[in-house]
Homo-oligomer: A and B are copies of this chain.
């Protein structure tokens, strides 16, 4: 695969002049990870950032008792660990490969010198960090102000937007991972899906398929306008 092909698929680098693509190719290192393999741990010293090349990666926090909260799940083309490039010197969270994955690694030093030649890169990075901040405000809002059914409803609607088939979504991660992403535990998630099914809001389609029977009710759940009835 040519440099151009490798970097065109990465939003952060899209549209850079070919010569800069070549420069990028000189500073990049490719790393592979097996399923479940740790990429970095919170607190470790960071010297650069990554872009997922293939597979999927989760970035997460973990509590003293071992409960985890997923911050992001990243797929091909998405960068992660950009924060310690510009502030602090340590990874603020953990990262692990969810499946066999490969990632491009850019050292901070080399990336900085590239930014000087291509100021547009700094603007691209500003946009990326801003999107992340926005995503985090939504996660904070969910955790602090919504109940689990509301977060679940919001996630189902998000999948419905992202995926093609109308009113029919496929869970792209295990329910255990989804529970961690929504700030709850698998048992609770299972019960909420059961309640939403018995209320006629959703219905199960095979192992990981969910049909959104009432988009309207999901919207009201997600906004907090209504709640799921008891038991």
6 A-B pairs (CB sep. < 8 Å):
A61-B145, A64-B225, A136-B137, A136-B140, A139-B140, A140-B143
**What is the CB-to-nearest-CB distance from A78 to chain B, in angstroms, rounded to a whole number?**
15
**Residues of B close to A134: CB separation below 8 A:** 83, 87-88, 92
The yes or no answer to A223 lying at the interface (CB within 8 A) is: yes
Task: Tell me what chain A mostly uses at the interface: helix, strand, loop, or mixed.
Answer: helix
A77 at interface by CB-CB < 8 Å: no
Residues of B within 8 Å of A71, CB to CB, are 137, 140
Q: Which of A62, A92, A129, A183 is the most central at the interface, judged by chain B CB atoms within 10 Å of its CB?
A: A129
User: What is the 8 Å Cβ interface bit string for chain A, positions 60-100, against chain B (1 contact, 0 not)?
Assistant: 01111101010100000000001111111000110000000
Binds B, one of A14-22, A118-126, A152-160: A118-126
- Whether A140 pairs with B61 at a CB distance below 8 angstroms is yes
What is the chain B residue whose CB lies nearest that of A223? B64
List which A27-72 residues lie within 8 A (CB) of chain B: 61-65, 67, 69, 71
Q: Which residues of B contact A87 (CB under 8 A)?
A: 127, 130-131, 133-134
Cβ distance A227 to chain B, nearest Cβ, rounded Å: 10
* Interface residue? A146 (CB, 8 A): yes
- Name the B residues within 8 Å of A131 (CB-CB): 87-88
A137 adjacent to B93 (CB under 8 Å): yes
Q: A122: which B residues are within 8 A, CB to CB?
A: 119, 122-123, 126
